[in-house]
A = this chain, B = another copy of it.
Amino acid sequence: MSERLGITYELSCGRGESPERKARGIALEQTVELPAATLPPGIESAMVGRIETLEPAGGNRFRARISYAPETVGGELTQLLNVLFGNISLKRGIRITGIAWPAALLRRLGGPAYGTAGIRRLTGVRERALLGTALKPIGLDAAALARRCEAFATGGIDLIKDDHGLADQPSAPFADRLQRCQEAVTRANARVGGNALYLPNVTAPFAEFPRRLEAARAAGCRAVLVSPWLAGLDSLRWARDQFGLALMAHPALTGSAFGRRHGIAPELVLGDLFRAAGADASIYPNADGRFGLSRRRCEAINGHLRGPLGELHPAFPVPAGGMDVARAPGWVRRYGIDTILLIGGSLYARGDLVRGARELLDAVREQHA
A contact residues vs B (CB 8 Å cutoff): 25, 29-35, 37-40, 42-43, 46-47, 71-74, 76-79, 81-83, 85-92, 134, 136-140, 144, 163-165, 167-171, 203-209, 227, 230-235, 237-238, 251-259, 262-264, 285, 290-293, 321, 344-345, 348-349
Contacts and interface: CB of A to CB of B under 8 A. Distances in A.
Contacts of A42: 139
A80 B247 CA distance: 22
Given A89-B254, A91-B292, A238-B205, A82 B164 contact: yes
A256 B76 contact: no
B232 A206 contact: yes
A344 B35 CA distance: 10
A227 B82 contact: yes
A47 B78 contact: no
Given A31-B138, A76-B167, A285-B90, A253 B81 contact: yes
A85 B254 CA distance: 9
Given A34-B348, A136-B32, A256-B264, A230 B292 contact: no
Contacts of A227: 78, 82, 86
A348 B35 CA distance: 9
Contact of A206 (B89, B234, B321): B234
A256 B140 contact: no
7 A-B pairs with the lowest CB-CB distances in the bound complex, closest first = A232-B232, A89-B255, A32-B137, A90-B255, A86-B252, A47-B139, A206-B238
Nearest to A168: B74
A349 B238 CA distance: 41
A43 B137 CA distance: 8
19 contacts: A31-B138, A32-B136, A32-B139, A34-B344, A35-B349, A40-B137, A73-B169, A74-B168, A74-B169, A82-B165, A82-B203, A82-B230, A90-B251, A90-B292, A91-B292, A205-B238, A256-B259, A256-B262, A259-B259
Contact of A232 (B235, B256, B257): B235
Contact of A292 (B73, B92, B170, B209): B92
A95 to B, nearest CB: 10
B230 A349 contact: no
A284 to B, nearest CB: 8
B78 A204 contact: yes
A35 B348 CA distance: 9
A25 B290 contact: yes
Contacts of A140: 40, 43
Contact of A321 (B32, B90, B204): B90
